[in-house]
């Protein structure tokens, strides 16, 4: 049995050209912590890095609950060439753990989801976040039937803003309280716009 078949044989998964998208499991706890505790991946995060494995367990439990209820949510992401090493997390959720009840209520009212991505700095610049996000948008609009996908970022987070814009999301509004990292910027793309652009 080759490495790819061995790695995916017991996990729910899907593929893109270079990536594998897994439903998160307890096997991913250390990767969840490593990536979310890294100061480089939290440079624009007002809450700062994770500090304990207990936080990673809490995040995983939240993600798994959403998967259990809807059969979709954030993914654990690996390379097809190295399927046992998790390089990042992301996808779409309409119950994101961060953002508060107001965001969850808004997503549910709009029949929308939040687009999220966080990858290890070791793979930055390789286009993996963009590839994952393209897969997430395709699933959101063509499989799940959502009407809107939102992307939230900080005013000062130019790389994230550029990434959202490359994916076709447009700046919609500023939201929330001011912060030293700048206002929270809300980007969005509607199903009809997505289909006109990509289909």
CATH of the domain at 125: 3.40.630.30
- By mean pLDDT, which of 7-16, 61-70, 141-150, 167-176 is the weakest? 7-16
Owning domain of residue 9: 3-198
Is the pTM above the cut of 0.75? yes
Given a cut of 70, is residue 35 above it in pLDDT?
yes
H/E stretch holding 172 reads strand 170-175
Given a cut of 50, is residue 126 above it in pLDDT?
yes
CA distance 109 to 157: 27
Tens of pLDDT, residues 163-179: 999 999 999 998 866 66
* pLDDT for the residue 8: 55
Given a cut of 60, is residue 3 above it in pLDDT?
no
pLDDT tier, 100 (very low <50, low <70, confident <90, very high otherwise): low
Q: How far from each other are the two terminal CA atoms of the chain, in whole angstroms?
A: 37
* pLDDT for the residue 1: 44
What value, to the nearest 5°, has the Cα angle with vertex 77 and ends 60 and 146?
A: 80
Given a cut of 80, is residue 194 above it in pLDDT?
yes
3-state DSSP assignment of residue 105: helix
Domain count, the chain: 1
Q: What is the DSSP letter of 98?
A: S
Whole-number average pLDDT of the chain: 90
Given a cut of 60, is residue 187 above it in pLDDT?
yes
CA distance 141 to 175: 24
- By mean pLDDT, which of 50-59, 108-117, 160-169 is the weakest? 108-117
Q: Which long-range contacts (CB under 8 A, 24 or more apart) does 96-99 make?
A: 97/58, 97/59, 97/62, 97/63, 98/47, 99/152
* pLDDT for the residue 159: 93
């Amino acid at each position: 049995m080759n490495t790819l078949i061995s790695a995916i044989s017991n996990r729910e998964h899907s593929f893109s050209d270079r990536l594998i998208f897994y439903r998160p499991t307890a096997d991913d706890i250390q990767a969840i912590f490593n990536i979310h505790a890294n100061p480089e991946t939290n440079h624009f995060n007002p809450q700062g890095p994770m500090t304990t494995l207990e936080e990673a367990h809490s995040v995983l439990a939240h993600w798994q609950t959403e998967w259990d209820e809807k059969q979709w949510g954030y993914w654990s992401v690996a390379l097809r060439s190295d399927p046992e090493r998790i390089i990042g997390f992301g996808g779409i959720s309409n119950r994101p753990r961060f953002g508060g009840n107001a965001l969850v209520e808004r997503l549910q009212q709009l029949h929308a989801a939040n687009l999220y991505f966080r990858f290890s700095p070791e793979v930055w610049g390789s286009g993996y976040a963009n590839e994952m996000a393209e897969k997430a948008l395709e699933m959101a609009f063509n499989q799940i039937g959502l009407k809107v996908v939102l992307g939230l970022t900080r005013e000062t987070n130019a790389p994230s803003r550029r990434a959202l814009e490359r994916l076709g999301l447009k700046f919609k509004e500023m939201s929330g309280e001011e912060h030293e990292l700048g206002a929270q910027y809300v980007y969005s793309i509607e199903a009809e716009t997505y289909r006109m652009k990509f289909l």
